[in-house]
Each structure stands twice: as structure tokens, then as C-alpha cells.
Amino acid sequence: MSKLRLKISVSLDGFVAGPDQSVNDPLGKGGMRLHEWVVPLAAWREPHGLVGGEVNESNAVVLESIANIGATVMGRNMFGGHPGPWNRDKPWMGWWGKNPPFRHPVFVVTHYPREPLVLEGNTTFVFVTEGIEAAVALAKRAAGNQDVTLGGGANVAQQCLRAGLMDEMEINLVPILLGAGERLFDGVTDLGGLELVRTVATPQVVHLKFTKRRK
Amino acid sequence: MSKLRLKISVSLDGFVAGPDQSVNDPLGKGGMRLHEWVVPLAAWREPHGLVGGEVNESNAVVLESIANIGATVMGRNMFGGHPGPWNRDKPWMGWWGKNPPFRHPVFVVTHYPREPLVLEGNTTFVFVTEGIEAAVALAKRAAGNQDVTLGGGANVAQQCLRAGLMDEMEINLVPILLGAGERLFDGVTDLGGLELVRTVATPQVVHLKFTKRRK
């Protein structure tokens, strides 16, 4: 059965984005530091159209986290932070460019209905206005025998955790403080049966893999 | 030179104590879950006068964290949460009983002057009203060639981090959520040169050791 899997980078003080987030600075002040560990990796460079890169323990974790994924669910901010209803004449294309790195259907949880956005490289953004559970159900159907990844941000991750929808979670804990910003676990009071099953550590990042307890 | 070392258990969502802390429930709701990993260990049982216990990777980390310690610094709440001036006729003895497990001088940061409290087993509580830097300096002098451990709680740890006093930090990350309570890093915006140098992981706890970057 298709699983819902989250991979997300978090600071030691629990933030997935720094303070003062905006459309021009979606990760907030200092937020880019959460992703410095991943950018040099071969597993990050390849889907972004770049050759080469480091192949280390973190690379293996990233490869695992992107393997067997047939669809993505993300929040509206992660798609592109558009603040209002879609403009039909000049539609907002999101942050991902003409050829996004997903290469499968991406279900965007939003309040604003919009026709699907079909882009190059087999990525289609589908806009879902019926809430997170509907988006996850549609994504699982689209994924078929493969899994669904929750792209973020924190808000949709929190909704999934509170609804008990999460089957697997890879927390990439970055040993820095951001001091303020958006917290991954705000408003979430328990892990809903997710248990720590594996830790892979480097000086730059500690990968904490959680899976749902078997009933 | 004597180092200031912190060891502290923290939930995945960053709390060192749960919500609704009180004199009768100093760890707050759910806070005891942060310490379940340590109680079965031989290294915890021995200083508490108990025999036996588990000897595993976490035990080695705990042994390291209590080795070569000549003095402790702690906040007033950790000593005993006494809410007001000391009563000279019937002095509050703290939470630690007649024979506390420290067996060295303990410097308590407080607003209330009090004579030192000499207890069994070589533990003396010394009450310092001149602030955290004075307490650390006194503790380092008392420790001689040994190090000083910061016992907690979060408030004195934050003061030390903000003042750049911390030389070493062992974060015992417990893979649970408390949802609310007291956060370790509240009001701290950077690690002041502390870098992740070692990770030891078990399903119950992930030990993250930080040491100060050499200049």
C-alpha cells in the first residue's frame, strides 16, 4: 500500500524556516543554512540537471528518500507563495520554473481552485481545495504502487501529523540554531505511532528516520 | 583549563520539561519521559546508590559526561524550586535529600542569599547571587583541574549559551513530542562556536555531542 513519507530539514531548535519569511525570501533569515548539507550531494544535483557531486552517507539517505515516489503533496506556500486567487490571464507558475525537478504529479493544498498546470519533464501541479486528507488520497491514487512524499512546508506536515496520516518521516537535523521562524512541530502533541528506527550522522546533518509502529 | 559542560535531555520538539511545571511536578506533564532512557543504566544507578543496570552505548555516554567533573552549576528551580527567601529556622533542603548524588560543590544561581548547605557524601550547595558568570567562575575555581557541569535547567543553560560560556554540550535527544513546556534554546540565536563532533544513536535516545571550535 502506498505510504505517505515526509523528508524535511530542521534546525536543532526546531525550525524549518527562519524568521521574516516572504515571497522574496521563502526560507526566512538564515533558512538556507538548513539546506547547505544537501546541495553538494550527487542525489540533489542530478534531479536539478547538474552532474557530479558528493557521494556519502547523506547521499544514500537522500537517494532512499526520493526512491519509489510516485506523487508529491505540498502546501500553497511551497508551490509558490501566491497570496491570492489565480489570475487566469497571467497564471503564477510557482517557484519551480518550466521544468520542475519532481517528474510526477504534485498535489498543492490551497484555498484557490485552479486548473492543473502541466509543465515539462512530466511534472503536473494539481490544485486541491478539499483539504489535506483529500490531497493525500488523490496523491496515493496517482502514485499507484509507489509512495507519496510530503514536500512541505511545516503547516501541511503538521496537518498530516495531527490527522495520523504520516507513515514515514526523515528528519534531517541540522546542528545550528535559527532562533526564530517556522517550527516543524507547532501544535503537534504526539508522533502518532512514529518511532525512531535509524540514525545516520555526519558533522553537517543527523538523519533521523521514523516509521509507523506495526499494529 | 576547566571546561563548562552541559548534558541535558531534550524532546524532538525542543522541550526539556513538559507543560504545567510546579513544585510538585518539576518536570511538567510528560517530562519524566525525557529521562526514561537513563534510569535503567548502570551509570545512573550507581551514583544513586543502586546496583546493576544496563551497560550499553548510552551508558558509555553517561559515564563520559559525569567523568572528570569537580563542580556543578544549577538554577534555583533545579535545586528545589523554593519560591521565596530562605527561612533560617527551617531551611528548605531542596529536592536532593540528605545525601545528594553530586559528591562535589554545587553552585546554585539564585536571588536569595544563604549560607552554604553542607550535606552527606561530600555535596555542598553554595548559593550565588551575583549571576551566572560569577557562579561559573566560582565553580571552575572549586573544580581545580576538573571540569564544571551545568546541571540545568533551561534558564541557566540559556544564560550560559548567550554569554558564550559553554565549552561542551551533550544533547540527549529523545524521539518524542511533548507539545508544550520549557524549551532549551528559547532566546538563544546561535551556538557560539559549538560544533557537532559526535553522534551516538539508539532507538530510545540520540546523543549529540558539541564542543567549542578551536580558535
Domain hosting B175: range is 4-13+69-81+99-192
Q: Is residue B146 assigned to a domain? A: yes
- Strand B124-128 with B117-118, pairing: antiparallel
Task: Give the tens place of pLDDT for each residue, A7-38.
Answer: 999 999 999 999 998 877 878 999 999 999 99
Q: pLDDT tens digits, residue range A126-143?
A: 999 999 999 999 999 999
pLDDT digits (tens, 9 = 90+) for B163-187: 999 999 999 999 999 999 999 999 9
Mutation choice for A interface testing from B185, B190, B205, B208 by most A CBs within 10 A: B185
Beta B168-174 vs B206-212: how paired, if at all?
antiparallel
CB neighbours of residue A25 within 10 Å: 14
Residue B210 domain flag: no
B185/A13 touch (CB, cutoff 8 Å), yes or no: yes
Grid cell 520539561 is found at: B17
Write out the residues of chain B at the interface with chain A, using a CB-CB cutoff of 8 A: 12-14, 171, 173, 175-180, 183-185, 188-191, 195-197, 199, 201, 203, 206, 208, 210
User: To which residue does cell 513519507 refer?
Assistant: A5
**Number of domains composing chain A:** 1
Q: Which residues contact B135 (CB under 8 A, 6 or more apart)?
A: B73, B107, B108, B109, B128
Residues of B in contact with A201 (CB under 8 A): 199, 201
Q: Is residue A121 part of a domain?
A: yes
Instruction: Give the span between the Cα atoms of A13 and B34, in whole angstroms.
Output: 17
Residue A91 lies in a domain: no
Residue A84 has pLDDT above 60, yes or no: no
Domain assignment present for residue B144? The answer is yes
- With respect to residue A43, please indicate whether it lies within any of the assigned structural domains: yes
Top pLDDT among B197 and A26 is at B197
A86 falls within a domain: no
- Min distance B23 CA to chain A CA atoms (Å): 24
Place of cell 531551611: B91
- Could you tell me which of A201, A193, A23, A39 has the C-alpha nearest to residue B175? A193
Is B13's CB within 8 Å of A191's CB?
Answer: no
CATH number of the domain that residue B110 is part of: 3.40.430.10
Point out the least confidently predicted range of B36-50, B89-103, B153-167: B89-103
Nearest CA in chain A to B204: A196
Instruction: Output the DSSP codes for A153-208.
Output: -HHHHHHHHHTT--SEEEEEEES----SSEETTTT----TTEEEEEEEE-SS-EEE
User: Is residue B139 situated within a structural domain?
Assistant: yes
pLDDT of A88 strictly over 70: no
pLDDT per residue over B105-135, tens digit each? 999 999 989 899 999 999 999 999 999 999 9
